[in-house]
């Protein structure tokens, strides 16, 4: 199968940011940046508590990520590099063909099958080693998105 990737990444869904204190980060984004929180949840599988901050009505978000476990990717990033950008999340309508096309393009996906992300979305990641030093997430929104 050969997938034409043209236009399959439709917009920036979110930029993930590692933070040590979720409440403090939400306050900063609300008070200094005037952004509204539209969603907050725990994701046990990913070891995070996260908050989605809307960037106006653009449809793109900042995803604030605080670790809930010492061995989680966000905890590791905070320990090694401190707070900062964790990943770039692109929205796609249908994640399976996009995963296929990325593999055909030589990208290393972290998961063989999509996992559950924010608000019932379906997600996967491209390893930063195969994407120019950027941890890239692909996001198929859930019904609640």
In this structure, how many other beta carbons lie within 10 angstroms of the beta carbon of residue 3?
Answer: 16
Q: Which stretch binds Co ion (CB under 5 A): 3-11, 31-39, 62-70, 95-103?
A: 62-70
Distance between CA 135 and CA 145 in Å, rounded?
22
Strand pairing partners for 63? 16, 52
| Residue from 8, 16, 19, 99 in contact with Co ion (CB under 5 A) | 16
Near Co ion in 30-59, by CB under 5 A: none
Which residue, chain included where needed, has tokens 């106006």? 56
137 annotated active-site: yes
Verify binding: residue 135, ligand V0V, rule CB under 6 A: yes
Q: Which positions from 36 through 75 interact with ligand V0V, judged by CB under 6 A?
A: 43, 46, 48, 63, 65, 73-74
Give the residue, chosen from 89, 99, 114, 135, that forms a contact with Co ion under the rule CB under 5 A: 89
- Compute the least distance from the CB of residue 59 to ligand V0V, in Å: 15
H or E element, residue 65: strand 61-67
CA distance 25 to 35: 11
Binding-site size for ligand V0V (CB under 6 A) equals 26
Rounded to whole angstroms, how far apart are CA atoms 4 and 6? 6
User: Which member of 49, 51, 92, 117 binds ligand V0V (CB under 6 A)?
Assistant: 117
């Amino acid at each position: 199968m050969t997938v034409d990737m043209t236009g399959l990444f439709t917009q920036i869904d979110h930029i993930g940011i590692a933070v040590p204190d979720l409440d403090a980060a939400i306050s900063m984004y609300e008070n200094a940046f005037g952004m509204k929180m539209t969603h907050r949840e725990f994701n046990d599988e990913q070891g995070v508590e996260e908050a989605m901050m809307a960037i106006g009505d653009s449809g793109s978000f900042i995803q604030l990520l605080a670790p809930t476990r010492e061995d989680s990717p966000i905890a590791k990033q905070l320990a090694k590099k401190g707070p900062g950008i964790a990943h770039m999340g692109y929205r796609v309508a249908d994640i399976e063909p996009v995963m296929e096309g990325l593999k055909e393009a030589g990208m290393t996906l972290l998961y063989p099958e999509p996992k559950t992300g924010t608000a019932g979305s379906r997600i996967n990641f491209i390893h930063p080693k195969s994407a120019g030093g950027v941890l890239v997430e692909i996001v198929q929104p859930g019904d609640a998105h």
